[in-house]
Amino acid sequence: MSRILHRWLPWLTFVNGATVKADVIAGITCASMSIPQGIAFAAIAGLPAEYGFYSAMVAPIIAVLFGSSWHMVCGPATAISALLFSTLSGLYAPGSAEFIQAALAITFLAGLIQLALGLAKLGNLTNFVSHAVMVGFITGAAFLIMLSQVQHALTAELPRPEQLPKFIGALFSVTPAVNMYSLTITLVTIGSAILIRAIMPKLPHYLLALIIGSVAGYFLNAGAHGVPLVGELNEAIPPFALIEFSSATLRELAPGAVVLALIGLLEAASISKAIALKTQQEVDTNREFVGQGMSNIVGSLFSNYMSSGSFTRSGINVEAGARTPLAIIFSSVFLLLILSLIAPLFSHLPIPAMAGIIMLVGWRLIEFKELIHYGKTSRSELVIALVTLVGTVGISLEFGILVGVGLSLALFLNQTAKPNVRILAPMETDEGRYFHNIMHFDLETCPQIHFIRLDGPLYFGSVDSMAKQFQDIEHSMPHKDHWVILCRGLSAIDIQGAHFLKQLTDQRRAMGTEVHLVVRYLWQLEQLRRFGVLDHIGAAHTYPGKGIAIKQIEKDMDLGQCARCNKNVFWECQARKQKGQALIAIDQLSSDQS
């Protein structure tokens, strides 16, 4: 039993006194953030505030026990909450009993879909979310996190930051009405966090900054000057909920459940990978899918609405020094204790102080170093990151990810559609005699043979590019009696690519050039045989290596040309030259005698 437990939860072996202490601090910090966020996210989803608390207590524990990420905190999130509201608001009255029941039912359905995808091991689909997409998504989400807190920092009504033009316009219009008490508390909190971290980095700077912000609010008599406080909180223990389904309900909720499941998985996978970039922990996406599915299935039975990964709380969890998943478990336990025991004390916490901490977390999530690195090394990666960033900030988190993935795939397909065709020749090096690119090293080639290496996939998308490169060889290089095509660099072959090789063979033979193949890998040999390429070219013209190809082809080479050639490209050249010269001498002698 112990072996199974440690295999499923390998982080247990890393738990010690130091990690528990760090996880307790991170858990308290994250729990303190979950209260205002729970209230806000539940409001976005059209649900009573306590449902935000329920989702922040149960879902994170289930997700971290069944998932693979040690630091990603699940629960209510902005995008999922907004998506849930838009899915159900047209069918039910927000906040009504029917709306709440539908929210729990669609959460259960979405969890089943996520679990099925995880068990089917389809998590590798998220591998198409490249590192550049992740950098753009993290940075875009970080900006949204920061902008979403501006209204709390100023105590002013502003549009959602996703509506960026309206947000900026409203920001200028509300400037005269800014609550300076709120702004002061925000700045004091941010300044305290920065100062504490700089002077005493081992202390829980976020939590201490929250306390300092609350003390500042107390001395400023913030409540009397219009500064919003967290306020009185009701005791919130997640109750058991019986999910009810009917055929009509399933028909209504199924399409929305699919969308919620997929967006939730994509966000969770993206966030877990983003957090892994900072923690250097390997993430199993299939298991993460299972964790998300289980958290929503089990969570819905305890009055949780749809949850996913949270950038804000995950970032706070990491920044606060979390070492193991115990930090997330502690966070849920502390959240329950706070709501049950010390809610009256917590009610005096100024919302602007919370906003200051969240804005600071958002700032530290921005990937400045990665963007600068892309700018120096890869223009395409920089474009992907920036497009993802703009899509995330300008439209939505979901759109940012999708447009980034779409652009990544488009660039990838564009690269695969341009395989490399190179002419090689032997070159002496300190390590030995190897074939190299004749253009890069200005090498001599044999007057009778071209060794042509294909690098990349030979499929329907790359045939045109490869055909143009072969035409360039034909027009720019002298005629050769033999073309030896090296297949070692081929990464894939389809039926259209095979047809291209057969067509090339026919064209070359019509021009007096014999085509040969050097095939080293069994899978390539099987593919070429299945598509009929080997039969078309002929088994006698197919070889496992370049050396064997040279020995076989030299039997058909013109000895007269060899006798007059001074290039000595191959080891066999000197012997063939002498043999050719001898034959010429014999012919000359016979001619003289006659």
Is residue 15 a contact partner of residue 6, using CB atoms and an 8 Å limit? no
Q: What local confidence, expressed as pLDDT, does residue 408 receive? A: 83
Torsion on CA atoms 424, 427, 431, 437, rounded to nearest 10: -30
What confidence category does residue 264 fall into, taking pLDDT thresholds of 50, 70 and 90?
Answer: confident
Least confident stretch, 142-146, 272-276, 447-451: 142-146
Each residue's pLDDT tens digit, 381-418? 888 888 888 887 877 766 777 788 888 888 888 888 88
Alpha carbon 224 to chain centroid, angstroms: 47
Under 8 Å CB-to-CB from 456, ≥6 apart: which residues? 416, 418, 419, 420, 462, 489, 490, 491
The DSSP annotation for 135-173 comes to HHHHHHHHHHHHHHTHHHHHT-----TTSHHHHHHHHHH
Other beta carbons within 10 angstroms of residue 284's beta carbon come to 15
| CA–CA distance, 238 with 7 (Å, rounded to integer) | 30
Percent of the chain topping pLDDT 90 = 24
Other beta carbons within 10 angstroms of residue 262's beta carbon come to 16
| CA–CA distance, 251 with 249 (Å, rounded to integer) | 5
Each residue's pLDDT tens digit, 22-40? 999 989 888 877 876 777 6
Each residue's pLDDT tens digit, 477-532? 888 899 999 999 988 899 999 999 999 999 999 999 999 999 989 999 999 999 99
Domains of the chain (ranges, CATH numbers): 25-172+193-409 (no CATH), 417-557 (3.30.750.24)
507-to-64, 369, 470 alpha-carbon distances in Å: 61, 52, 11
pLDDT above 70 for 591 = no
Helix orientation angle between 247-279 and 131-148, rounded to the nearest 10 degrees: 100
Question: Which residue is listed with tokens 């191959």?
Answer: 570
The residue-averaged pLDDT of 198-213 equals 80
* Euclidean distance between the first and the last CA atom of the chain, given in angstroms as a whole number: 99
The residue-averaged pLDDT of 448-456 equals 91
pTM: 0.67
Helix orientation angle between 397-416 and 379-394, rounded to the nearest 10 degrees: 160
Please provide the average confidence, as pLDDT, over all residues in the chain: 84
What confidence category does residue 298 fall into, taking pLDDT thresholds of 50, 70 and 90?
Answer: very high
Q: What local confidence, expressed as pLDDT, does residue 413 receive? A: 82
**How crowded is the C-beta side of 6, counted as CA atoms within 13 Å?**
7
Each residue's pLDDT tens digit, 39-84? 767 777 878 878 888 999 999 999 999 988 888 999 988 778 877 8
| 317 residue type, one letter | N
Q: What local confidence, expressed as pLDDT, does residue 425 receive? A: 86
Q: What local confidence, expressed as pLDDT, does residue 243 receive? A: 84
Q: What local confidence, expressed as pLDDT, does residue 509 receive? A: 93
Q: What local confidence, expressed as pLDDT, does residue 503 receive? A: 93
| CA–CA distance, 277 with 343 (Å, rounded to integer) | 36
Percent of the chain topping pLDDT 70 = 93
Under 8 Å CB-to-CB from 278, ≥6 apart: which residues? 318
According to DSSP, the β-strands at 482-486 and 514-518 are parallel
| CA–CA distance, 237 with 449 (Å, rounded to integer) | 81
| CA–CA distance, 401 with 272 (Å, rounded to integer) | 14
Each residue's pLDDT tens digit, 427-437? 877 777 788 88
Q: What local confidence, expressed as pLDDT, does residue 119 receive? A: 92
DSSP for residue 77: -
| CA–CA distance, 201 with 407 (Å, rounded to integer) | 40
